[in-house]
A and B are shown apart, each in its own frame.
Chain A
Amino acid sequence: MADDVTTRDVAASPATSPARGAAGRTSRVRPAAPARGGRRGVNSQLRKRLEIVFFVAPALALFGLFVIVPIATAVQMSLFRWKGIGPLVDFVGLRNYVSVLTNDVFTGAVVHNLVIVGLSILIQLPLGLAIALLLNRRMWGQSALRTIIFVPYVLAEVVAGVIWLQLLQPQYGVIDGILDAVGLGSPEQGWLGDPDLALWTLMVVLTWKYLGLAVILFLAGLQGVPEELYEAAQLDGATWWQVQRKITIPLLGPTLRTWGFLSMIGSLQLFDMVWILTRGGPANATTTMATFLINEGTERSNFGIAGAASVVLFVVALFMAVLYQQLILRRDTRPETGRN
């Protein structure tokens, strides 16, 4: 990859050469020399190129070895039947993909991921926005409040998951205890043990874990709204709700859209929390694409199947990212591309 970029640069060098290198020292040594664009220019171009390679190479090498190569390997693996021993010889074409895409557990996992993407945005957007709007005023303990709201996000998913696992324990857990005390029943197999409830319980825990991120980002966006706008609107007799609806929320647009993107990508990649809380169970009720492929790859050594699932996960993520970009983020980037 590095080679590719450098060769393209070399080929294109005359176009960019008058940029910077010649302006400083070189020009002082030989002022107004007609040959300036000649050998010296090439030398400084070469030097510049070497500098670029020197600076970028370590990052690109690391990125290539640990990101690009494994992803390419996943694609390759997906075309073979392979149990992890010996060379890749048993070429099966697209059969792993057929087997993954016709596997009810996997299609169920895709549905779970999409449900989590949708519900995360539907729950956290209004809730986060409401909390951010309410807290966006000078009030006592404001900075402490912001810190507290952010705490769950900073905890490791494993730590948060293990705590919730204890809270949700059937019968002995505090949540069932409280429900008992107020006279409400709780599911016999527990909140995470009942296939009909497990996904919803997972959503509650995910909301708890990630709402803070939304609130903090929205609050930051709110600080970017100029105070004069509020004052002007108030002078015009607008109510608090009108101000929020007509001024604040539209101006918050870019922040909301970018948060939505982050939230979507995170939901599609979800693994840690599910693995700790349910391992994808009960009866595959909470399996996600990530838990499916880890299960196939590391527990059952079906590397071909895991590879195919990885590729599908990536394609789904890419597809949704492009879709999001086209439908939603485009409004933000358009003026910028105009400037460039």
Chain B
Amino acid sequence: MSASTMNDLSLAPTTRNRRPGSLRPTNVIVYGIALVVVALTLGPVIYGVLGGFRTNAQLAETPAGLPDPWVLDNYVGVLTNPTFWQYTWNSVGVSLITTAVVVVFGVMAAYPLARYEFKGREGLFMVFVVGLLFPATVAIVPLFILITQNLQLGNTWIGVALPQAAFALPMTVVILRPFLMALPKELEEAAMIDGASRIGFFWRILIPLSGPGMVTVGVLAFVASWNAYLLPLLLLQGDMKTLPLGVADFSSEHASDTAGVFAFTSLAMIPALVFFLAMQKRIVNGLQGAVKG
């Protein structure tokens, strides 16, 4: 009796921590649930990718079937479609400009908000915090008029990128400020004693050290811009459209060509997925940082 209790006590931590894969009943249930979650999560995506390898006849006959035979025509059709590449190119351009503006302006604004002491600092910071509440939707119609009529930037990359950057700034500043605050004060004091100005400190010490933070906000801004729909929808036409607009257009213009829509959509999501996989840690860290404040 006492021996078995002893045994339990000494064994319990080992089984819990060292052998995670052991097939106890609870583990089976957990893995079962995990499988269901994975299936429901990935199911639609995988179905779309596989659907691109089928013909419309196959899709209509057995909606839930596998490609039989596998057909490459849909994907080849999209990949040899110059419009697809034009849209991809536009998406890359708009997203890169947005990201560059957000990161540069964001880190500049976050620096005094984090490391200068001045009256009105918290008030200034609140401007950006309240900015989190402004959806682009609220301002979208005047924004459309401002950009197309007053600034004459309608149907240009920069006309989409600048407002997108402006709306991404609050999140950027809110994430970067605590990041810059966390860098130890001694660094700054040491730099000052060595004769560096605050601007010198910013360039030579703060920027290199805050690389990870800037990558995080950069990735978030890039993904948001890459996926954006509403602003490009209003501002871009014809050859200037981005990929999400292309996907939406293709699916309504070729509504009867389900397989083609699947192929186009699958190819359009590859860049975002690849980028996500490469930058996964950063995206997740950024979002978690935002939540933890």
Q: Which residues of A line the B interface, CB within 8 A?
A: 1, 5, 8-9, 12, 15-16, 19-20, 23-25, 48-49, 51-52, 55-56, 58-60, 62-63, 65-67, 69-71, 73-74, 77, 84, 131, 134-135, 137-141, 145, 147-152, 154-160, 162-167, 169, 172-174, 176-178, 181, 208, 212-213, 216-217, 220-221, 231, 234, 254-255, 258-259, 262, 265, 268-269, 271-272, 275-276, 290, 293-294, 297-298, 303, 306-307, 310-311, 313-314, 317-318, 321
Contacts and interface: CB of A to CB of B under 8 A. Distances in A.
A162 B17 contact: no
A74 B230 contact: no
A163 B44 contact: yes
Interface in B48-75: 48, 51, 59-60, 62-64
Contacts of B272: 154-156, 159
Contacts of B169: 59, 62-63
Contacts of B214: none
B287 A51 contact: no
Given A62-B169, A138-B17, A56 B109 contact: yes
B205 interface: no
Contact of B291 (A134, A150, A259, A303): A259
B64 A139 contact: no
Contacts of B38: 145, 148-149
B30 interface: yes
Contacts of A268: 135
Given A20-B117, A73-B146, A173-B63, 4 more contacts: A52-B116, A58-B104, A60-B109, A141-B34
A163 B45 contact: yes
Contacts of A156: 226-229, 243-244, 247, 268-269, 272
B144 interface: yes
Contacts of A220: 284, 288, 291
B109 A9 contact: no
Contacts of B106: 59
A183 to B, nearest CB: 14
A16 B119 CA distance: 7
B44 A172 contact: no
B64 A181 contact: yes
Interface string B104-143: 1110110111001111100110011001111101111111
A127 to B, nearest CB: 10
The 9 lowest CB-CB distance pairs between A and B, nearest first, are A177-B63, A70-B139, A59-B109, A66-B166, A156-B227, A73-B142, A138-B20, A297-B141, A269-B135
Contact of A55 (B51, B108, B245): B108
A8 B193 contact: no
A149 B243 CA distance: 24
A135 B141 contact: no
Contacts of B276: 150-151, 154
A56 B124 contact: yes
B145 interface: yes
B183 interface: no
Contacts of B284: 150, 216, 220
Nearest to A240: B26
Contact of B261 (A24, A151, A166, A208): A166
A51 B198 contact: yes
Given A56-B112, A220-B288, A151 B42 contact: yes
A109 B286 CA distance: 32
Contacts of A259: 291
B51 to A, nearest CB: 7
Nearest to B33: A134
Contacts of B199: 51
B41 interface: yes
8 contacts: A8-B120, A23-B192, A25-B192, A48-B118, A149-B37, A154-B272, A159-B272, A317-B138
B262 interface: yes
Contacts of B44: 160, 163-164, 167, 208
A135 B31 CA distance: 9
Interface string B76-118: 0000000000000000000000000100111011011100111
B223 interface: yes
A294 to B, nearest CB: 7
Given A9-B119, A163-B45, A71 B138 contact: yes
Contacts of B248: 158, 162, 276
B293 interface: yes
Contacts of B273: 151, 154-155
Nearest to A166: B258
B179 interface: no
Contacts of A166: 48, 51, 251, 258, 261-262
Contacts of B165: 62, 66
Given A52-B116, A70-B143, A177-B64, A157 B229 contact: yes
Contacts of A56: 108-109, 112-113, 124
